[in-house]
A and B are shown apart, each in its own frame.
Chain A
Amino acid sequence: DAGVIQSPRHEVTEMGQEVTLRCKPISGHNSLFWYRQTMMRGLELLIYFNNNVPIDDSGMPEDRFSAKMPNASFSTLKIQPSEPRDSAVYFCASRLGDLNQPQHFGDGTRLSIL
């Protein structure tokens, strides 16, 4: 079975540019999560969706970050404009069922903003 698929795997861009990260959750999973991982701050939850509806976006750093889930099989995390401090590994995870179920993580996108 295919796991959570993220693209791109690596992204290097200059500050000020728009960055779009993509995620395809595991088929049938009804919750989707976006995390950011850095050495300083660890693994931070940015936003999560349940049945395509954003439930909690309190972890989104600021207005430069936005996330959408137009359907059950696709989500995007957009940063516009990007800044060097946004450099991190961004993980998408999905979950089937209720809160007690495990989250399945994608391979992540390693983002570097120059």
Chain B
Amino acid sequence: GQQVMQIPQYQHVQEGEDFTTYCNSSTTLSNIQWYKQRPGGHPVFLIQLVKSGEVKKQKRLTFQFGEAKKNSSLHITATQTTDVGTYFCAGLYNQGGKLIFGQGTELSVKP
């Protein structure tokens, strides 16, 4: 079935270090969305990638969509304590039309 795998499950970094989370799908995605959930909060939409090989930046966050549209990554440069939370990728498949969420990567940042 349609499944989005996300790694790592947890990442603990020192403030100022970089962070990357990866998503993979066995089948081609129509697009991929990224969400952030703060502790005790709800998922909040960050960005959407649609085109093969697309790269988008939001300040210290860089999002990439693979050439084959089967994988994606989120990279945070020089993490801050405000980056703490769980980052989810969510893949949209042409068939079915529903968003399939990855398991999420929980980021903790030590000041």
Residues in chain A within 8 A of chain B (CB atoms)? 42-43, 45, 48, 55-56, 91, 93, 99-100, 102-108
| A93 contacts across to B, CB distance below 8 A | 43
How far is it, in angstroms, between the C-alpha of A107 and the C-alpha of B92 when the chains are bound?
23
Residues in chain B within 8 A of chain A (CB atoms)? 30-31, 33, 41-45, 48, 50, 88, 92, 96-104
How far is it, in angstroms, between the C-alpha of A17 and the C-alpha of B58 when the chains are bound?
46
| A106 contacts across to B, CB distance below 8 A | 42
| B101 contacts across to A, CB distance below 8 A | 42-43, 45
Find B33's partner among A45, A102, A108 (CB 8 Å cutoff). Answer: A102
How far is it, in angstroms, between the C-alpha of A102 and the C-alpha of B30 when the chains are bound?
14
Given A42-B104, A43-B88, A43-B104, do A108 and B42 touch, yes or no (CB 8 Å)?
A: yes
9 closest Cβ contacts across the A-B interface? A102-B45, A105-B42, A43-B101, A42-B103, A105-B43, A99-B97, A108-B42, A107-B42, A99-B92
